[in-house]
Chains A and B, each alone.
Chain A
Amino acid sequence: MSDEQVGTILAIVTLQMSMVGEGTPVFLARNEEEQQKVAGYLSKILDANVHDLENGSLILVKH
């Protein structure tokens, strides 16, 4: 039941470096378009879900 387990944050794609801390790989994007593109690639590479925190950061979570 993969969708019932607690997720693990694999990576963060952000527009504002100041918003995120350490501990998880962070990718800085220059604009929203690039952010979506990078998150999309990472999602395919990591087989992970992309979730939007709606504060300028997208997180990639493996459920």
Chain B
Amino acid sequence: MSNLIPEYLLVILAGVVAGTVTRVILLRIDYRQYPGYPHGYLGHLFLGFIASILGAVAIPAIMEPDFAAATFLALAAQQFREIRNIERRTLESLERSELVRRGLDYIEGIARTFEARNYLVMGTAFVTSLAAQLGGPAAAFAVAILAVLLSRYFMSGQVVGSICAVVPARISFKGAILMVDEIGIMNVGLKVMRDKILQEGLAVKLIPRDGNARSTLHDIGQRNAIAFTASVILGSKKDVDIPEFTPLARKNPDTGEVGLYIMPVERDMEQLIAAVKLTPVLESARSKPLKAGSSIKAAKEQVKST
């Protein structure tokens, strides 16, 4: 077996390198989702490294053949589910001291993403080492690049900008009610606050493109995520003793349009629109009632016939 080691070394190395590179790239493109603690980066890179080793050694294990060794992949899955828990717990405990909160839905989405990324890393490592085994270094290189691009594509997901139009809106007061265009947001009792909001507040309106988008915006967690992203990018004037400045997103119950109000540090409408558009559509909020049409029709007919 010792004479085989150099050959497998190349196979395993190819997989490990490709997998780790995938992890680094996925860590970079999602800066908005990541708080950016150096220790967190290190932890995730190392876990990505382990995932790619697991993916890479699967091929030599099958070639040897040592099928028992391939079953440790199941163990790996267990391990990565743990990552989701760790990530969720970290974010949840930080949430308590956050002025503008992410919301549980967003946290769940982030945690799930972190878990899924490790599977992608493992997959990349696996196919790369397979290519290295079957087609040599050149094939491994080509497959690795393809796999990296593919995982980037898979992880990019939908954004709010692709399901609804985001337009600037006007802030006004109807008595004490803060209005974003025709949508009532909240009741502001202090006159000084009303004046300040009128002068320094910003608002946009989200107009859903279809019924699916409307039902996604209907989700409180999704709206929370939008408000959170906006206040991360533009900053928020909110403080513990100024709850009036909490960014809020409320919907028009008749049209499903959503008005977002924020007290930004950086008063830049273009930035705000970009931030809202870039907010990821949460997996838990995503729904497609329009696609259910055909089965609902069938159910209706069944009801009629009975």
A58 CB, nearest partner CB in chain B, Å: 5
Which residue in B189, B224, B248 is a CB contact (below 8 Å) of A52? B189
Q: Are A36 and B243 in contact (CB under 8 A)?
A: no
A1 in complex: contacting residue of B224, B241, B244, CB < 8 Å? B224
B175 pairs with A49, CB closer than 8 A: no
A1-B104, A51-B176, A52-B175 known; A36-B224 Cβ under 8 A:
no
A47 touches B189 (CB 8 A): no
Judge whether A47 and B190 touch: CB under 8 Å. Answer: no
Contact B192 A36, beta carbon cutoff 8 Å: yes
Interface size on B, residues (CB 8 A): 21
A2 contact set on B, CB distance < 8 A: 101, 246
| Chain B hits for A4, CB < 8 A | 220
Binding site of A, secondary structure by majority: helix, strand, loop or mixed? mixed
Q: Is B299 an interface residue (CB 8 A)?
A: no
Within 8 Å CB of A54, what residues of B? 175-176
How many Å from the CB of A41 to the closest CB on chain B?
A: 11
Contact partner, B192, options A1, A40, A47, A59, Cβ 8 Å? A40
Taking a contact as CB atoms under 8 Å apart, the answer to whether B190 and A44 are in contact is: no
Q: Are B224 and A51 in contact (CB under 8 A)?
A: no
Q: Is A39 an interface residue (CB 8 A)?
A: yes
Name the residue of chain B whose CB is nearest to the CB of A44: B241
Q: How many residues of A contact B (CB 8 A)?
A: 20
* Cα–Cα distance between A15 and B86 once the two chains are bound (Å): 53
Residues of A within 8 A of B79 (CB): none
- Check A39/B190 contact, CB under 8 A, given A1-B103, A1-B220, A3-B248: yes
Q: Indicate whether A52 sits within 8 Å of B241 (C-beta atoms), given known contacts A3-B248, A39-B190.
A: no
Residues of B close to A50: CB separation below 8 A: 188-190, 193, 244
The 18 sampled A-B contact pairs (Cβ below 8 Å) are: A1-B103, A1-B224, A2-B246, A3-B246, A3-B248, A36-B190, A40-B190, A40-B192, A43-B243, A44-B241, A45-B241, A47-B240, A47-B243, A49-B244, A50-B189, A51-B176, A52-B188, A58-B189
